[in-house]
Structure 1
């Protein structure tokens, strides 16, 4: 199949983008890297009257560090998270996840903002934003606002972004010298959607964990914070006993659905195994 005919706009500012969306009376789609939207257009799952290309908007580009917060422009390519020195130094969990995102051709075109805006529950970057405690900077006709990751992901492919709004940047608290992180996913083949995956960002004081955020993906309609498992680890030293306790607590955090490829019981089991691997990585990193 081929996409239906559409008009094309390439605004230079956020204001022009919002104006183009308003002129289309809402029958428009924004595009950045296009790795998800273009197949949807080709299969006519989406058929907007106007396609608004965000690639010319300078405000959506760049990576910078200010006041202990790393700002990652929404148009940052997946591949850049592997090479950008600021991301590698201050958001290492994002760099750890990046090699698992699809394949090189997709990483060279896809954008971090596009992935987070789509919020595919099986994608790596949305869950890592949750693990890192990021804030999403969103632009609308009334101006800019920020939404914490814990409030941003609402339901299957549903986020706090309202129709016509644009994800501008991701604001990530910079990791410090006492932070450790780990990423892991299980897929049948490298580049396939993961059966289960997750990332951890934790802070140590001596040998004990003083803070920890665990985010899992492919275990529900949104990325999931494993809050019960986190609570079992706060103030603890990582060893076989605390890892087992966190794995047991994980049962209260996830409620995966059955599907034809991976039954819910199997996904729960894989999530426990994955959490153990992640925590052992942290143990070694310490």
Structure 2
């Protein structure tokens, strides 16, 4: 590690002022940023911790939905969202190990947009809204590709607003060492239709499987997926599995998630 300044503001305004300095980066859970700094992949001159800002923490149920502060740890989401959005709570409880769940945050995960992270699929399948210090961004516009989002420089996630589906479930085929999703699927059923989001499979990051959404909106049964397939082109191929294997997993996990709803 190398020398850098570290500040821990108590308000969002203080954090934004600190981030205005050259080469400053926000630090939430640090589960990706700190390892990247150790490998010299990132070299900020200042880290601005968001963990001292109480306004960015908490799970707040409301009429028809739940709002989660951007600096809320996965373990807190797993515990406090269980009564209002069980599928989201279960997803959060399956991220990493206890150390990761007690340190990592929902805002940090979404801002990083790792192609195998769990939260992006939940946000996209839920049709959630990402709230920043400047605006509100619909999930369908937020994710721009692998490790890329609609966030502008210096913009921080303050909260995520989730509508509550009638039924939802998340299944992931996890990589045993990291517990990242080799492929993961969130199915969420709303009165106006079904949303299906996939993580861990595509070279472009999280995506919606529109053909499955249409079929399941007509008939919310695993059998509705018969005859559908996900193209292997554009899927990740690595030592853990080929693109064709991941494409097959998408269909299998979607059917099982529907069955579990």
Find the counterpart in structure 2 of residue 8 from structure 1.
6
Deviations 1:231-282, CA, capped at 9 Å, x for gaps: 1121225253x1324xx1x426983133343211111112222122112223
Quote how far apart the aligned CAs of 1:70 are: 1.3
**Structure 2 gap ranges (5+):** none
**Please, what is the CA RMSD of the aligned residues?**
1.9
| Secondary structure of 1:278's aligned partner | helix
Counterpart of 2:226 (choices 244, 247, 250) is 244
Counterpart of 1:31 (choices 24, 27, 52) is 27
Quote how far apart the aligned CAs of 1:62 are: 2.0
Q: Partners in 2 of 1:120 and 1:71 — Cα distance?
A: 22
Structure 1 stretches of at least 4 aligned residues deviating more than 4 Å after TM superposition: none
Find the counterpart in structure 1 of residue 170 from structure 2.
183
Does structure 1 retain, via aligned residues, the 8 Å contact 2:73–2:102?
yes
> Comparing 55-64 with 254-263, which one deviates more in the overlay?
254-263
Structure 1 31/237 Cα, relative in aligned 2: closer, same or farther at 3 Å? closer
Structure 1 190/38 Cα, relative in aligned 2: closer, same or farther at 3 Å? closer
Q: Partners in 2 of 1:107 and 1:212 — Cα distance?
A: 29
| Secondary structure of 1:55's aligned partner | coil
Quote how far apart the aligned CAs of 1:15 are: 1.4
Counterpart of 1:216 (choices 198, 215, 219) is 198
Q: Partners in 2 of 1:218 and 1:150 — Cα distance?
A: 17
Number of aligned residue pairs: give it.
260
Find out whether 1:72 has 2:68 as its counterpart: yes
Structure 1 222/239 Cα, relative in aligned 2: closer, same or farther at 3 Å? closer
Find the counterpart in structure 1 of residue 140 from structure 2.
150
Q: Partners in 2 of 1:60 and 1:254 — Cα distance?
A: 40
Q: Partners in 1 of 2:135 and 2:122 — Cα distance?
A: 21
Q: Normalising to structure 2: TM-score of the pair?
A: 0.93
Find the counterpart in structure 2 of residue 168 from structure 1.
158
**Structure 1 gap ranges (5+):** 205-209
Find the counterpart in structure 2 of residue 101 from structure 1.
95
Q: Partners in 2 of 1:126 and 1:270 — Cα distance?
A: 18
Structure 1 190/279 Cα, relative in aligned 2: closer, same or farther at 3 Å? farther
Does structure 1 retain, via aligned residues, the 8 Å contact 2:232–2:243?
no
